[in-house]
Amino acid sequence: MQLPRMRPTREQLAHNLLPQYEEAELCARVLTISDAELERIGDLAGYYAWSRDALELLGGSMGGARAACLAAIDVLEGTHRAPHRKQSQQEWEWGVPERSAAELAREHSLRLRASAAVHSSCDAGPPND
């Protein structure tokens, strides 16, 4: 089964997506990541935002910016920590309520199951250039 994917550029991550969650250290780091790391971030972000698992578990999409931020944390730090901001700058400006503890727990569960789901949907790896 083909999973949805995001294909953000390094610049989109560094200048648009990660700053929404005050991830300054990742903003600097993401500009120098490998193509494989960038592709992995896109694969995970697509899974977090639009996979059947995500839509069923979360009751809808978490949105692309949050998905990309969480994927960057997971790929570049190897952790499942929460972003520095609980919600994006844009969500805050719009008055969107913060996620509940139950919503964050479901989100964390999705992140834990993502690795197996994304790996099983891919071939042996990206083609050699």
pLDDT, tens digit, 9 for 90 and up, residues 44-79: 999 999 999 999 999 999 999 999 999 999 999 999
Least confident among 9-18, 89-98, 120-129: 120-129
The pTM score is 0.87
- The whole-number pLDDT of residue 4 equals 85
Structure-block tokens of residue 128: 């050699």
Structure-block tokens of residue 15: 């200048």
How far apart, in whole angstroms, are the C-alpha atoms of residue 126 and residue 129? 9
User: Among candidates 121, 101, 109, 94, which has minimal Cα distance to 4?
Assistant: 121
